[in-house]
Structure 1
Amino acid sequence: MKRIALLLATFLLAGCAAAPAQPAPAGTEQRVFNDTDVMFSQMMAAHHSQALEMVRLARTKAAREDVRTLAAAIDATETDELKTMQVWLESWGQPPNADASAHAGHGGAHGANPDDIKALRAATGADFETKFLNLLIAHQHNAIEIARMETGSGVNPGALDLAKRIDESRTAEIQQMLRYLNQPA
């Protein structure tokens, strides 16, 4: 059963890792962007940085191999996506992150509470896994919300494609993590 879960984790996340987001060739779609594309990239870059901190903890602290495998896959995917968004922001002449209050009208930064991250760092064993999975489920739900904001009014083809893939992959990750929470360790 563990082997099937491990294969399922790899399969679900392979689509994200197999087709990494890439910046468009210079002089093409990078010139087409609006405020929503910039906000999406800035908010999602900050969001990814926080997720990377959590999954890197899980890669060493999680007791179950399937949870560590999921964390490793998320790390690879979100590292690649983060680099892509940073390239876009630079090519658009935009700062990599905006003032914390800049996106307050859109629900803020959609990140995890720093106290929750601190508690996660202190947790061990089964307690760590439960906290990690619950925190990451909420975090990935917020990523879906940010992605849907982009698909609702963004114009950059690359950002729209990334947002669609984030919506699909994070939805699959949430379903997988919910199954992990309902499985005995």
Structure 2
Amino acid sequence: MRAPNHHRITRKLALTGAVAATGLLLAACGGSGDSDGTAHGGHATASASSGASAGAFNDADVMFAQMMIPHHEQALSMAKLADGRAADAEIKQIVAAVEKAQDPEIQKMKSWLKAWGRPEATAGGHGGHAMAGMLSDADMTDLAAAKGKEFDRKFAELMIAHHEGAVEMAKTEQRDGKDPEAKKVADDVVRTQAAEIAQLRKVLDRL
């Protein structure tokens, strides 16, 4: 009786080993085949490091990014005009601050939209919503034509209005947004641009 029992046990162990090996093989295949779960997890982690999670956003977040990108881009265009035209030291300081803060934010917001699978905004706004504070072509032409103190004054006036528009959009994101990183950028916009508005008003008072 021992031999059959031993034979049966050996067969059982061999079968168990085969099942385990098959299970491991399926698990390995499943790891790549079940890419939706793992890829989404990996994608969300990668996205979070650059700014956003693919599963934690809403329409307000999308609109904030789509509208703020061209808004920031115009601020950078205004800042570029200061080169060779601005005379006031504080204006030059604010120009440098705008360039330092807003270009990285543009790249961050573009990465969010890519992670979310949404397109970037058009220059005219998004979903029928106009972007507050945007300068007209005539405003930009007038600014480009100014130099020295005249440029400084015009730049301050236009950037105040531009920043006020950005703060308005950021406050909407603070209230309605869902993505934590987008709301954090909105907080930064409100804080930094409100401070720059106050500084620009003081500059205007003395120009």
TM-score range, shorter chain: 0.7 to 0.9
- 3-state SS of paired residue (1:112): coil
Q: Are residues 1:113 and 2:141 paired?
A: no
- Shift in Å at residue 154 of structure 1? 0.6
Please name the residue that 1:11 is paired with.
none
Structure 1 or 2, whichever has the larger Rg, is: 2
Deviation larger for 52-61 or 28-37:
28-37
Please give the alpha-carbon distance, in whole angstroms, between the structure 2 residues aligned to 1:31 and 1:126. Answer: 49
Runs of 4+ in structure 1 deviating by more than 6 angstroms, as ranges, are none
Match of 1:175 among 190, 195, 198: 198
Please name the residue that 1:18 is paired with.
none
- Shift in Å at residue 30 of structure 1? 3.7
Match of 1:148 among 171, 191, 197: 171
Aligned ranges for residues 21-170 of structure 1 at < 5 Å? 24-25=48-49, 29-98=53-122, 100=124, 102-104=126-128, 106=129, 108-110=130-132, 111-170=134-193
In the alignment, is the contact (CA less than 8 A) between 1:140 and 1:170 conserved in 2?
Answer: yes
In the alignment, is the contact (CA less than 8 A) between 1:120 and 1:131 conserved in 2?
Answer: yes
- Say which structure, 1 or 2, has more relative contact order (CA 8 Å, 6+ apart): 1
In the alignment, is the contact (CA less than 8 A) between 1:141 and 1:171 conserved in 2?
Answer: yes
- Shift in Å at residue 152 of structure 1? 1.2
What value does the CA root-mean-square deviation take over the aligned residues? 1.9
Q: What amino acid does structure 1 have at the position aligned with 2:71? A: H
Aligned length: 160
- Shift in Å at residue 156 of structure 1? 0.4
Could you tell me which runs of 5 or more consecutive residues in structure 2 were left unpaired when the two chains were aligned.
1-46
In the alignment, is the contact (CA less than 8 A) between 1:60 and 1:68 conserved in 2?
Answer: no
- 3-state SS of paired residue (2:124): coil
Q: What amino acid does structure 2 have at the position aligned with 1:142? A: G
Deviation larger for 58-67 or 165-174:
58-67
TM-score for the superposition, normalised by structure 1: 0.80
Q: 1:101 to 1:46 in 2, by over 3 A?
A: closer
TM-score for the superposition, normalised by structure 2: 0.72
In the alignment, is the contact (CA less than 8 A) between 2:61 and 2:177 conserved in 1?
Answer: yes
Q: What amino acid does structure 1 have at the position aligned with 2:99? A: D
- Shift in Å at residue 98 of structure 1? 4.1
- 3-state SS of paired residue (1:25): helix
Please give the alpha-carbon distance, in whole angstroms, between the structure 2 residues aligned to 1:101 and 1:81. Answer: 18
- Shift in Å at residue 180 of structure 1? 0.7
- Shift in Å at residue 142 of structure 1? 0.1
In the alignment, is the contact (CA less than 8 A) between 1:30 and 1:156 conserved in 2?
Answer: no
Please give the alpha-carbon distance, in whole angstroms, between the structure 2 residues aligned to 1:109 and 1:103. Answer: 11
Identity percentage of aligned residues = 35
Please give the alpha-carbon distance, in whole angstroms, between the structure 2 residues aligned to 1:162 and 1:30. Answer: 17
- Shift in Å at residue 116 of structure 1? 0.4
